[in-house]
Amino acid sequence: MSPALLLEFFLLAALWGSSFLFMRLGAAEFGALPTAGLRVALAALFLLPVFLIKGVWADFRQRARPILFVGLLNSGIPFALFAFAVLHITTGLTSILNATVPLTGAVVAWLWLKDRPSGSRMLGLLIGFVGVTLLVIGKSGFSATGVTAAASIGTTLLAMGACLLATTCYGLAASYTKRYLTGAHPLATATGSQIGAALGLALPTFWFWPETPVSLGAWGALAAVALFCTSIAYILFFRIIEKAGPSKALTVTFLVPVFALVYGVFFLDESITPWMVTCGVIIICGTALSTGLVRLGRLDRAT
């Protein structure tokens, strides 16, 4: 990567890492569903001007249905699940579980698109899921996040399960995009998907709207996560894919938990346990193998 592109890469990791912090601040007052609904609605508004770019609007109109649908899989449902999760577990733990996205994506592609992974990638999947299992068994992140004095084990496991369900949605969205949206303009997909997510979450956002007034700080947090962590982040992500390729762009997943953990410590007074770090390293190693970023030649030849 060029120095300028490398700067964009680190900026993208910093933005996506901060999304867990902003979701936590917003969800504490809005609740999970309104937080997700407002995030995608504001992001759609911020992105609307890209339809003025030549070819973007025409491409969106041609593929509107699959683009709107993938918005629910890639934004609406996962954002709601993560907004619920950060209310019950630390943002750092949430971000580590989010790093399993390439793992679930590889599994979905294998089962749905028959994209059978090589020996190295299969080993990576095994290592990654071992890391996740150890993370859950070790009960990492069971400390309070400011909402309650101590979260119950059942609620914490539910929150961790929500994170893994969200990453599964990302994996489904990736395979769906590959199968039905190959060749679509990336800005049409980015903007249209936010519109689809906003439409899908409109009624739940209205039903679960908080009864008490919400502070300006919570509004600001949602505006930040929509503008910086969604709209601008999507544009940066697609620029990196275009200039450096999807494999290199995917490595941003490794840096996101680092930023999220730092933000959680400084702004939310969260703690980082050695078990979280150990499991996070195992998950990242598995992800590196499962995505093909690291390969074991002998194992690949054997399979």
Q: With helix as H, strand as E and coil as C, how does 83-127 read?
A: HHHCCCCCHHHHHHHHCCHHHHHHHHHHHHCCCCCCHHHHHHHHH
127 found inside a domain: no
Residue 50: domain span? 3-116+152-273
247 found inside a domain: yes
- Looking at residue 1, what is its pLDDT? 60
Q: How many domains does the chain have?
A: 1
143 found inside a domain: no
Burial class (CB in 10 A: 0-12, 13-18, 19+), 258: middle
Share of the chain above pLDDT 70, in %: 89
Closest by CA to 138, choosing from 118, 156, 120, 126, is 156
Best mean pLDDT range from 78-82, 257-261, 287-291: 78-82
When pLDDT is averaged across residues 73-100 and rounded to a whole number, the result is 92
The amino acid present at 161, given as its one-letter code, is: G
- Looking at residue 48, what is its pLDDT? 95
63 found inside a domain: yes
* pLDDT tens profile 102-144: 778 878 888 887 777 677 778 887 888 888 888 777 754 444 4
- Looking at residue 93, what is its pLDDT? 87
- Looking at residue 138, what is its pLDDT? 72
234 found inside a domain: yes
283 found inside a domain: no
When pLDDT is averaged across residues 245-263 and rounded to a whole number, the result is 77
180 found inside a domain: yes
297 found inside a domain: no
pLDDT surpasses 60 at 33: yes
